């Protein structure tokens, strides 16, 4: 599914959606979905002309967002970025808390070879928006009028909702981050969980 001429939702990542962005220097991927989907993702990217991958940007460290990271990095020899705060979880240097610790133990994730901290500001035309709450270093991205919300927001029946409390590090910070992204200009909100929502406003209860 195309949100714009340059933004594509990877259908084989349904359940924890990832997105492909076409920039002048190549393709940027947002997240990598649940583990075990790498081959299907690679085949879909190739079939739809999104296989010239330059970089992968991660919204946060949860296993359903980094599940195919090592495979995709090896396939495309691309750069990988995540917030400096969430980086130790991906590298296996820091343990996740609560239910996430259990999920991480059940879904073993290969550590990527190279990973870099996100810079402040932008990468090319992609705006980087720190949005802590769901995880300590959660990050949203804005490109071509599309807000990639990661797990800060989710959608159900076309309605935007906050991150689920039981899977969230700090709900107060989620509320603050929702206010931050609400001040941005966009035409689409694309969460990882739930379908994209065509809207220029974020209204959550």
Half-sphere exposure of 184 (CA within 13 A, CB side): 26
Q: Which of 23, 15, 103 is nearest to 61 (CA)?
A: 103
Per-residue tokens: 15: 């359940």
16-20, 97-101, 150-154: the lowest-pLDDT one = 97-101
Tell me how far apart the 2 most distant CA atoms of the chain are, in Å: 42
- Cα dist. 113→7, 19, 59, 86, 105 in Å? 27, 22, 18, 16, 20
Residue 173, SS3 per DSSP:
helix
Handedness of CA 164, 165, 167, 171 (dihedral sign): positive
DSSP string, 83-152: -TTTHHHHTTSSPPPHHHHHHHHHS--PPPS--EEPPSSEETTEEEEE-TTSSTT-EEEEETTEEEEETT
2-6, 64-68, 103-107, 120-124: the lowest-pLDDT one = 103-107
Handedness of CA 15, 161, 146, 65 (dihedral sign): negative
47: left (phi over 0), alpha (psi -120 to 50) or beta: alpha
Reported as a single tens digit per residue, the pLDDT across 126-164 is: 999 999 999 999 999 999 999 999 999 999 999 999 988
Q: For the CA atoms of the chain, what is the radius of gyration?
A: 15
Reported as a single tens digit per residue, the pLDDT across 177-188 is: 999 999 999 999
Beta-bridge partner residues of 127: 122, 142
Do the strands 122-123 and 116-117 form a parallel or antiparallel pair, or are they unpaired? unpaired
Mean pLDDT computed over 91-104: 61
* pLDDT band with cut points at 50, 70 and 90 for residue 112: confident
Domain ranges of the chain: 2-198
The class that CATH gives domain 2-198 is alpha beta
């Amino acid at each position: 599914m195309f949100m714009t001429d340059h933004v594509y939702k990877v259908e084989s990542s349904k359940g924890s959606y990832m997105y492909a962005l076409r920039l002048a220097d190549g393709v940027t991927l947002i997240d990598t979905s649940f583990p075990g989907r790498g081959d299907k993702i690679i085949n879909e990217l190739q079939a739809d002309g999104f296989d010239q991958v330059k970089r992968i940007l991660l919204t946060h460290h949860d296993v359903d967002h980094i599940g195919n990271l090592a495979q995709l990095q090896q396939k495309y020899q691309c750069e990988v970025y995540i917030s400096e705060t969430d980086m130790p979880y991906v590298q296996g240097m820091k343990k996740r808390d609560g239910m996430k610790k259990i999920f991480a133990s059940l879904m073993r994730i290969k550590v990527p070879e190279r990973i870099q901290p996100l810079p402040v500001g932008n990468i090319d035309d992609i705006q980087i928006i720190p949005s802590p709450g769901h995880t300590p270093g959660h990050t949203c991205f804005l490109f071509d009028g599309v807000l990639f919300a990661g797990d800060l927001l989710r959608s159900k029946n076309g309605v935007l909702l906050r991150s689920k409390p039981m899977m969230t590090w700090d709900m107060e910070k989620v509320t603050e981050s929702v206010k931050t992204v609400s001040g941005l200009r966009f035409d689409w909100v694309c969460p990882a969980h739930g379908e994209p929502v065509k809207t220029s406003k974020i209204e959550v209860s």
